[in-house]
Every structure is written in structure tokens, then in C-alpha cells.
Amino acid sequence: MSTTTDNRRKAPAGERVADWADGRLGIYSLAKANMRKIFPDHWSFMLGEVCLYSFVIIILTGVYLTLFFHPSMEEVVYHGSYVPMQGMRMSEAFQSTLNISFDIRGGLLIRQIHHWAALIFLAGMFVHMMRVFFTGAFRKPREVNWLFGFLLFVLGMFTGFTGYSLPDDLLSGTGVRFMEGAILSVPIVGTYISMFLFGGEFPGSDFVPRFFSIHVLLLPGIMLGLLVAHLILVIYHKHTQFPGPGRTNKNVVGLPLMPVYMAKAGGFFFLVFGVIAAVAAIATINPIWAIGPYRPDQVSTGAQPDWYMGFSEGLIRVMPGWEINLWGHTLVLGVFVPLVIFPLVLAAIAVYPFIESWVTGDKREHHLLDRPRNAPTRTAFGAAWISWYFVLLIGGGNDLWATHFHLSINAITWFVRIGFFVVPVLTFIATRRICMSLQRRDRDKVLHGRESGIIKRLPHGEFVEVHEPLSQEQLHTLTAHEQPKPLELEPEFDENGVARKAGAGQRLKVKLSKGFYGEGTQIPKATREEYEEITSGHGHH
Amino acid sequence: MSSQDIPEENLPSTQDAHGGAVTKTAGDPFADPGLPPHEPRIQDVDERAAQRSERVVAFLFLLSMLATVGFIASYVALPVDKIVYIFPIGHISALNFALGMTLAVALFCIGAGAVHWARTLMSDVEVADERHAIAAEPDVKAKVMADFKQGAEESAFGRRKLIRNTMFGALALVPLSGVVLLRDLGPLPGTKLRKTAWSEGKMLINQNTLQPLRPEDIQVGSLTFAMPEGMKEEDHDFQKEIAKAALMIVRLRPENIKDKRELDWSADGIVAFSKICTHVGCPISLYEQQTHHVLCPCHQSTFDLSDGGRVIFGPAGHALPQLRIKVNDKGYLEAMGDFAEPVGPAYWERG
């Protein structure tokens, strides 16, 4: 470059550092592609950020906690500063958790931030996943990222479970016992897995240190990798956007990373951290000092797991206690069936994108989001899944529902047993109808305009409401979505009379496609002809 | 701030030149009209409003600094065990509250400042970026396929089958070492789950008083927890043993005992059942005096202690095991053997 000769004066220090890094890392090419990268704006796009930031908060506070926590089940007698427990026998894990809570300044705050952030992390992932689901953001090219996100949610559940089991308190110990009982129900290998996991019979003295390395090393390590991959794909695919004027499948409209999203997203990290710190300052979570150390022959009433494990608790509580004893062996269906359904509940939502893409046969890229009403079958499926999940949550807290609402626990259990099958179906039907009503409303709005609330009296005495026509931006936004047509079976004989029978797979696909997009599943959107016919008329309201 | 104060040349009406004016696409009423023009914010047209925003952002950052000072001050000044009353939360740790709130303010103000800065002072002109298809162009794909083919040919992977097959074999076998290494994670189950610490002649020790139980200690309507004689809380395997041996004792009127075997295994109407739920192993701890039902608080399995520990509700799959007891010649309750069947959750080998 010619500038090297006439540019004798030194470049600013920042530029020289950047030059140094560019010569070794190639940062200028990276920045060229990404520094002014455009991100679209919508409140629901923040949900994923909540997850990312709470994950970072969990890592930061978790590292601090490892400095003081002793993952050991060695029995000790407590002589610390919390008077009510002095002289009690407990594990070192429980004792060190008491120390963190009562003796280390700020220890309780960090412990509470860690636990609250974990609850928010899981809740954030759940809501973020539903956002992605209901807007169809999982469609090509983002199916792999959907799976990464799903795995993060599942791994997050187990990281949470292994984490809250570490203090070895009476509540979490009960949860671990439940897990051991569930493992024992596995045919043939159950007792072996249990012995290997606990280093012998339950509880033994191994599970806290083992859970510790799973909780702080194995699972977060995998999650960190998935998280980085998830973010790289978000950047690579560029963010989806809602349809609107100037927003097409071929562009992304929004504001640049530098400076707007650096400030907004960077600032949002501090907002999330600040809110969680405030919650941890005023709301106690997991008060292990009130629960006490674990003993396998003691239990407290109202025992509940953290919320994200609640649906599995529901499964185990409402399953009838079936046991089959044959040839000297026991098949513990009452526990094993819930154990099998547990991953299936999660898998049901995870595989949906692949089913939808198979049924539609759609191979195009989709970067424009759907409004949930414009994909009634998908929305109905998602709502049905959520209702299923919540029915199980009710089952998981059946004792609390009974005591708080003065209901019979037997009645609640039976409600959940029946609701497990019935509620999702009802939700599906109701949601699809609501979606179609909303589509009808959009159609009316496009054709007749917005209801202005002004009543006009015509010369002959008739009263009509004045409708304001929509702007072209609004008309475009309300009509930009596609309405897929159901697949048709090809005729059994082609034009030469040669038989070509469709296979079972093809027939199923066509049948499903009719269910997705066939008659009675969507309201035809307004056409240009209909619009013109109505708007050209006179004296029309 | 009224619009009259804004300099004339800054008003939106005079700025519209760059605004990408919308032209109605001829014909289609639903056609995409393109990006709407930028709507200026008050900070875009009025420098004084922009300066106010600047002061708000700076104030928030300043507040954050003060809060951090407050955090350090609370850490140094407040004793760790001081409890204070804060309305409406109640009595809470002063240090936890002070540290948490100052940290929250310090963090939140940085975030609020940054977001306010971005929303009021940074450009909010929306920009469109092109998207490009993710899938490669056909010539790129052709090149990759050709490269791959060439590489595969040069490796002779497909041609020299002996190498390929032995390599697969070696790679398939080598993880076995890792699996074998896991063997010593724990012992084999054997009959460990079938045996408990109970055996013939062991007295029933009250878990609260640690004294042997006499029949007269147990009243109708009370629930007593017991463990076998010789077990101590200090024992290193106490947790493991009590997880199986925990026992609950109730006294019934003999005429109320519906199950014949239960009556045979009782002593003076006193019956002893395993405390460990047969569902997934929680300790059962709720007793209904009138009906002699016990309820596991974890998953609400309910057992009838007057009818052989039968399950009457909930997810448990089989009855609670009963321990056969008698009154020995010194007048204490003692076990006549171990449980006849495994206690706790069912498992494959239980039979």
C-alpha cells in the first residue's frame, strides 16, 4: 500500500493493537462481516438473551460457590454459627452450605443468585422455545439450531437437578431417593445402574462428589459448547423477522450490532443480572437451614422438586401402581412407564419441526416469521403440548393443590389421569378454532377496514358504523403470509394408464397434510379481487 | 417541551428528503410498499432533548458507581449475623439485603443507562441487509464432491478393504476399555436389597429415646418409629442401613386387624411395618388414627395398616412389608427375623 511511505506518523495505539491482532487472527475480515450486522427488533427476541445472560450469571456465581463448597458426604457434627443446628450430625456438603449461608459474607447472596438464575434460565429457555415454536422460527434452515436449543433445555434440567441435590439436605435427598427408586424400576439392569451410580446401596457416600463433577464439569461443559454453536448459527443464519413493509424473505431489517445492539444487548445483561440480584436480596430460595440434613428415614410434607422437574413428578404421582410378577421377576410398570414417558413428553415437541417439514414437503428457506394464528395446526399442537405439560405440573403438585384449594387429593389425581389424555385434545380443538376466528377477523379488517367506533346515520334512517380503510403497510402485513394447500395423492394411473400406487408413507403424508391444511383448517385470506370489489362500491360501510 | 421551541430546519417536515417516500404500487393493494420513512425522535430534532438524555444516562452510570461504593461499605460495615426488619418483607439478614440491593442497583443502572443511550441517542434508522442462500452454489458443490472423491481415491479406502475392515474393528473395540473401567463404580447388587439390619432377637429401639420399646409404651392411635438394636447414628453405614431398616409401629385392637397373617405377626395388637414406601422409597410419615391408613407425603401412596399394609390409593405397587415381632421374656418387643420380603421400591430381581 502506498500509505506506508507517506504515513510516517504513528497510528493511534488502539489501531496498532488491532493491526497486531489482525496480522495474527484476521480480525478485520471478521469485523467487516459482523461489526455492523443487522438485527431486527421485537420484544420476543429478548427471551433468548435472558437465557444467555442467566447462564453467564450461573457460571460466574457457580465458580464462586466452588471456592467454599465441600462436595463430601463425610459425616460431621455441626459447631458453626447457626445455633439451631449445633450438635447435629450432617454431611460436610451440608455443613459447607450452612457456612456459605451464615459465615461467609455475601455467600448467601451468591448462593441465592445462583439458584434464582437457574430457575430463570430454565423458565427463559421454556418461553424462548415456545416463541420459536409458535412463530415457526424452527423451519429451514434453523432445524439444527432448534435441536441445539432443545438439548440445552434438557441438559439444563439435569444440571439443575444435580445442582440442587448437592447440599445434601432433606428435601433434595428425597428427590435423589425418588431418582434411585425410578432407576431400580428399569428391567434387568436397574439394580446394577443404581449400585454403580451410588457406589453401592443408597445413599452411600459417593453421590454428592459424583453429582458435583457432573454438575460443575460434565454438563456445563457440554452446554457451553452447545451454547456457542447455537449463537454462531444465529449469527450465520441471520435473525428471523416478522413480516411487514419492506421486510422480505431475502432481507433482514433492523439496527446494526455496533453501536445499537452492543448497547442494548450488553445493557440487557446488566438489567437481567440486576433484577436477579434484587430477587436474591429479598426472596429466600432453598432455605436448607430450615429443611435440615438428609436422613433416608425422614421426610417433610409438601416435598416438591424445582419447577422444571415438576412434570416428571406429575407422571410418577398419577401413574397407577401396576406391577407384574412373573417367573421370579418384577416388572415395575407403575414406575417404569413414567420413566419412559418422561423423555417422550419432551421429545414430542422436539420432533414437531421435522414432522411439519415432512408433511408440507417444503424445502425452501424461511426467514419471515408466522403469526401463530396463521399456522392454526402448529399453534394448536403447541398449545396442546403446553396444556399437557401443565396438567402434569398439577399432578406433580397434587398435594399442594389439595391443601391450598381444599380439594380431594384423590379427585385431583383422577383429574390428571384423565386430563393427561383429554386436555391436550380439547386444547388442540379450541386453539385451532380461536386461530381461525382471528384469521376471520384479519380478513374482515383487510376487506372492510378498522372499526372506528363512529356511528353514522344514513338519510333513510339506517345506522352504520364507519370503518377506516387500512394503510397499504397494514394491508401488506395482514396478507403477506402464505396459505399452504394440502398435498393430493397422484392419480393411481398415469396418463398412459400405467399403475403407480402410492406407498403407505405417501398416503399417510397426504392424510396428515389434509389434516394440517385441508378443509376447515384455515380461512382463505382476502384476495385482491374481493378487496377491489368491496372498495369500489358506493355507499358501502 | 413543545414543538414551537424546535428550530425550524430540524422539523421532520423539512427533513423528509431522505425518508424513502412511499409510492403506492400501482395495481396490487396488498403489495409491499417498502420500508416506511424514518420517524424522527425528539432527540433527533432537538439538541436540548438530546442533552437531557445524555444527563439521564450519565446520572444512571453515576448511580451505579455510588451503589458499588455502597456494596463495599455494607460488606465492611455490616456484621454477617445481623437481622433487621424490612417492610414488607419481614426479618431478614441485613448483610444479604444490603449487598443484594446495592449490587442490583449497580448492575441495573449500567443496563438502564446503556439501553436509554441506545434508544434515545444512537441512530434508530432501520437498515436492510441482504440475505444469501445457505446452500452452496452448484459449482461449489461440484468442486467439493470432486475434491472428496479425489481424496478418497488417494487414500485407497474403498480399494484396500482389509485396511478398512480392520480399522473399523479396532475403532469399535477401543471404547470397550472405557466401559470396563466403569466397572468399579460400585459393587454388584447381589442380595443386598433383600437384607436389612433386622434379625431374630433384635430388640426394637425407639428412635427418639434410643431405649428398647415395651408394649405398654405404644398407645392406640400413636405412630412410633423404631430401629434395630445395635445400630448407632455414629456408624459409618448408618444412613445406608436405616434406609432399609426404618420401622413404624402402631397398636391396633386385635379385632380390628383384618388380615390373618398380620394378626399372627403382631404382638398384643402391636404391628410393625417397614417405613420405606414401596413406590420409590420415601419414608412414610403421616398416620390417620381413625382409619389406620398411612400416607407417604412424597407421592401420596396410601396403605392400610389394619389390612396387611395393602395399597388403597396412589402409585405404590405392592403392600408394605411387615416385620414379625413378639414380646421377649424381659418384656421388650423384639424381631422374630428379618423382613420376609425386600423393603422399599420394587426392582427386577425382586420377584
The per-residue pLDDT for range A181-195, each reduced to its tens digit, is: 999 999 999 999 999
Please check the confidence at residue A114 and state whether its pLDDT lies above 90.
yes
CA distance A33 to B132: 13
Segment A22-47, tens digit of pLDDT: 999 999 999 998 999 999 999 999 99
Is the per-residue pLDDT at B84 higher than 50? yes
The model's confidence at residue A158, banded by pLDDT at 50, 70 and 90, is very high
A378 touches chain B (CB under 8 A): no
Res. A500: pLDDT tops 80: no
Look up cell 479425489; give the residue.
B150
Which chain A residues contact residue B108 at CB under 8 A? 270-271, 274-275, 278
If contacts are CB pairs under 8 Å, which of residues 177-236 in chain A contact chain B?
Answer: 177-178, 180-182, 184-192, 194-206, 236
Q: Which residues have a Cβ under 8 Å from the Cβ of A316 and sit 6 or more positions away? A: A178, A182, A335, A338, B279, B280, B299, B315
Across chain B, mean pLDDT equals 89
Chain B positions touching A271 (Cβ under 8 A) are 107-108, 111-112, 115
Residue in chain B nearest A476 by alpha carbon:
B30
The rounded radius of gyration (Å) of the Cα atoms in chain A is: 29
CB contact under 8 A, A254 and B127: yes
pLDDT band at A527 (very low <50, low <70, confident <90, very high): confident
What pairs with residue B322 in β-bridges?
B273
At residue A540, what are phi and psi to the nearest 5 degrees?
-90, 145
Give the distance from residue B233's alpha carbon to the nearest chain A alpha carbon, in angstroms: 8
Which residue of chain A is at minimal alpha-carbon distance from B182?
A196
* Distance in angstroms (rounded) separating the CA atoms of residues A518 and A526: 18
CB contact under 8 A, B127 and A532: no
| pLDDT over 70 percentage in chain A | 98
Q: Region A324-345: what's the mean pLDDT?
A: 92
Domains in chain B, start-ordered, CATH in brackets? 42-121 (no CATH), 202-335 (2.102.10.10)
Render A318-372 in DSSP notation, one character per residue: HS----EEETTEEE-HHHHHHHHHHHHHHHHHHSHHHHHHHHH---S---BPPPG
Mutation target among A184, A333, A470, A534 for the B interface, most CBs of B within 10 A: A184
Residue B3 has pLDDT above 50, yes or no: no
Chain A, residues 346-365, CB within 8 A of chain B, namely 365
- For testing the chain A interface, which of B86, B122, B233, B237 should be mutated: the one with the most A CBs within 10 Å? B122
In one-letter notation, the amino acid at residue A492 is E
H/E/C letters for each residue in B200-252?
A: CCCEEEECCCCCECCHHHCCECCCEEEEECCCCCCCCCHHHHHHHHCEEEEEC
Output phi, psi for A249, to 5 deg. -75, -10
Q: Would you say residue B180 has pLDDT above 90?
A: yes
pLDDT of A334 strictly over 50 = yes
> 3-state class of A426 per DSSP?
helix
Cα B254 from Cα B215, distance rounded (Å): 14
Largest CA distance in chain B: 110
Task: Read off the pLDDT band of B204 (50, 70, 90).
Answer: very high
In chain A, what are the domain boundaries? 41-370, 371-483+522-540
Looking at residues B346-350, what average pLDDT do you find?
92
SS3 at position B303 = strand
The pLDDT, as a whole number, for residue A11 is 86
- The pLDDT value recorded for residue B10 is 59
In the predicted model, what is the mean pLDDT of chain A? 91
The amino acid sitting at A330 is T
This prediction has a pTM of: 0.91
| pLDDT score at B7 | 58
Read off the pLDDT band of A499 (50, 70, 90).
confident
Which residues does chain A have within 8 Å of residue B111's beta carbon, measured at their own beta carbons?
A: 267-274
Cα-based angle B23, B24, B28 (whole degrees, multiple of 5): 145
CA atoms within 13 A on the CB side of A456: 12
Nearest CB neighbour to A263, from listed B32, B118, B285: B118
Q: Which of A472, A478, A482, A530 to mutate to test the interface with B (most CBs of B within 10 A)?
A: A472
The arithmetic mean of pLDDT across residues A427-447, rounded, is 93
Best probe of the A interface among B224, B233, B282, by most A CBs < 10 A, is B282
C-alpha separations of B85 from B82, B89, B94 in Å: 10, 8, 8
Q: Given this model, what pLDDT does residue B222 score?
A: 87
Interface with chain B: mutation pick from A53, A258, A270, A275, highest number of B CBs within 10 Å: A270
pLDDT higher for A354 or A529? A354
The distance between the two most distant Cα atoms of chain A, rounded to a whole number of Å, is 94
B13 confidence band (pLDDT: 50, 70, 90)? low
pLDDT recorded at residue A504: 85
CB pairs under 8 A between A and B: 346
Percent of chain B topping pLDDT 90:
69
Tell me which chain A residues have a C-beta less than 8 angstroms from the C-beta of B68. none
pLDDT at A539 over 80: no
The fold adopted by the segment(s) A41-370 is Cytochrome Bc1 Complex; Chain C (1.20.810)
Give the pLDDT confidence of A233-289 residue by residue, as tens digits. Answer: 999 999 999 999 999 999 999 999 999 999 999 999 999 999 999 999 999 999 999
Q: What is the pLDDT of residues B283-337, one digit of tens each?
A: 998 898 888 999 998 998 999 999 989 999 889 999 999 999 999 999 999 999 9
Residue A142 Cα, gap to closest chain B Cα (Å): 10
Residues of chain B contacting A297 with CB distance shorter than 8 Å: 207, 225, 227, 242-243, 246, 275-276, 283
Closest residue to B317, CB basis, from A270, A299, A334: A334
Contact (CB<8Å) B134/A204: no
State how far residue A429 is from chain B, nearest Cα, in angstroms. 31
CB proximity A266 to B under 8 Å: yes
* Cell reading at B1: 417541551
Residues of chain A contacting B97 with CB distance shorter than 8 Å? 281-282
User: Is residue B142 a contact partner of residue A262, using CB atoms and an 8 Å limit?
Assistant: no
Cβ–Cβ under 8 Å, residues A59 and A271: no
Helix (H, G, I), strand (E, B) or coil at A374: helix
Least confidently predicted of A334-348, A525-539, B228-242, B256-270: A525-539
Angle at CA of residue A526, ends A523 and A532, nearest 5° = 155
Instruction: Give the residue among B270, B181, B180 at the shortest CA–CA distance from B218.
Output: B270
Paired strand residues for B283: B276
Q: Please report the pLDDT score of residue B16 as a whole number.
A: 45
Interchain contact, B348 vs A316, CB within 8 Å: no
B15-20 CB contacts, 8 Å cutoff, 24+ apart: B15/B40, B15/B45
Q: What is the pLDDT of residue B5?
A: 57
Predicted pLDDT at A526? 87
Q: What is the pLDDT of residue B15?
A: 47
Between CA A371 and CA A241 the distance in angstroms is 11
